[in-house]
Structure 1
Amino acid sequence: MIDNIKEYATVARAAEKFVKSVAESNSEYAKTLFTDDAVLFGILNGTAERGSIEQFYRNVDTVGAGDGFKVSIDVLAVEETVAVVRVLEEGWGGSIDFTDFLLLLKLDGEWNCVAKAYNQNSNTISK
């Protein structure tokens, strides 16, 4: 059952923790969104990343977002206890564009991210 519009706004606010971490190069905000056992999947500059969300935290904490960094949050689906969010990023680290997909579960009444999968736009891959 598709949830009500108000819940979409609640999911978007949860995803803003992810965005704030990336924009400010500070993983502390994202750590309040992701579960301890959250997973990460994607390919960064041709190298597969998979495993613990800790890799995302390290990337965020060591690479600044850059002055031209832009972001858009799209809540794609909310189904009572599961939600999917797409985050478009332009100019992370000054040169990389990403499309992130966040899978959230409503645990103990709060939206938490259990998985992050991403695509690095091919025209921003370092050769």
Structure 2
Amino acid sequence: MSADTPSYVAVHGHDAEIVSIDIDRENSVCRLGFTFEREKRSSLELFEVVAFRVEDFSLQNVVSRILRATAKDFSEDDLSHWLDWATSLPDAPSWLKSERKREWVDALNDGRLALIVLEPSAGAQIVAV
């Protein structure tokens, strides 16, 4: 995901509820719709997405926090965990080959990619690269 996209920085996620997910694979764009305090609406647009995974999306999806980071902001083990998680499924291992993973880490380090983690209070956990 491109690190130069300003729209995802504007979302202050604590206690926001994820109410929609729109994925445009052709243009590598993901849009997340949020409500705040049941009335205010906002969206988070992620551009140039290379990996995206959602788990446990349900009728109520409350965000505990949103982390936006480069490789420097995570330990090597944590970064490896999130990249593996974003590129795998519960019943299948990561499709990300080690050489490509090193390229992504380099891109995270120099700002060409960003890692976004939406940690849940309830419901969906989402990771995008």
Confirm or deny a common fold (TM above 0.5). no
What TM-score do the two structures reach when normalised by structure 1?
0.28
- Structure with more of its chain in strand, by fraction: 1
What TM-score do the two structures reach when normalised by structure 2?
0.28
The higher-RCO structure (CA 8 Å, 6+ apart) is 2
